[in-house]
Structure 1
Amino acid sequence: MNARPRSAESGSVRRWSVPVVERVSRGEVIAFRLASHNLSERLGTGELLAAAGRCGTLRSASMPTGVRLLPPGDPYIQTRDRDTIVEKPRQRDVWKMVGAPGTILAAGEIAGTWRARRKGHALTMTVAVFGSLSDRQRSVLRDEADQIGALRDASDVEIEFDGG
């Protein structure tokens, strides 16, 4: 008897993943594969750039846009070379030994951290921004916070900005 997970039968995974896959270019897939195999550590910088250039990755790559709240321990922040994604003075804010915060990804860069605390049915998210965020980016973060509140069964969600 071949038992399949219930979520796979209902198609919930497929509904969630298909739109994401359709938006990824061939160049982005190649760039991800190069990075996931730690080729930057095995090849010199010049060799890696040459390999990416031959694949057309550098020419076809677009600047990332948007704002997301990444959960604590998200794979994006688990890279070996922390200096490439977070400035040295901010690394202690992002990588804590106990009680690691979530991070804010804005335009492809780590732009701050966030923490959530729940009291009764209310969820309060404290956002510490490293630089500044536009009003549009703050609005998107509020929408993201509402989604997290729904996942945590909170009837009221507040977001407090520290800095930026």
Structure 2
Amino acid sequence: MKQVLTMTALLLTGTAVAGGGSAVPTGNSIAAIVANDPNFSTLLSAVQAAGLTQELASGGPYTVFAPTNAAFAKVPQAQLNALLNDREQLRAVLLYHVVPGKVTSGQVVNLDSATTANGADLDIMTNGGKVMINDATVTKADVQASNGVVHVIDTVLLP
């Protein structure tokens, strides 16, 4: 589990540098996609609040269901604040957005569930041509990364 945590940290936040800061990843990794897209700034902040920014790893492939800033805005402020102040719960939520392996949209439509990096299952269904992950709609699929794939979702997944 620690190895998955470590890998997830790198995927979502990039590489730590001397002095405690974090570098903006370059290239086409999942880390670079998330760190370089302003629509994921809340996701990036959540990862930092979970204390995952200093963890280093490499590997993959991974599938990340990445909630946008608008998805985080749907979470009631009090609930979001409580989550951001509970490091273990926040880590569990973040790992709930990561599925080991590369699962493209063509594969997702043939699944009814997937096991996440935190060990819990996500429900997957297709409804009216839209892919649903639990209560979240995939708004952009198959953002290809060198170490997996990102699917953008409109709702934060809560285990």
Q: Normalised by the shorter chain, which TM-score bucket?
A: under 0.3
| TM-score, normalised by the number of residues in structure 1 | 0.25
| TM-score, normalised by the number of residues in structure 2 | 0.26
Higher helix share: 1
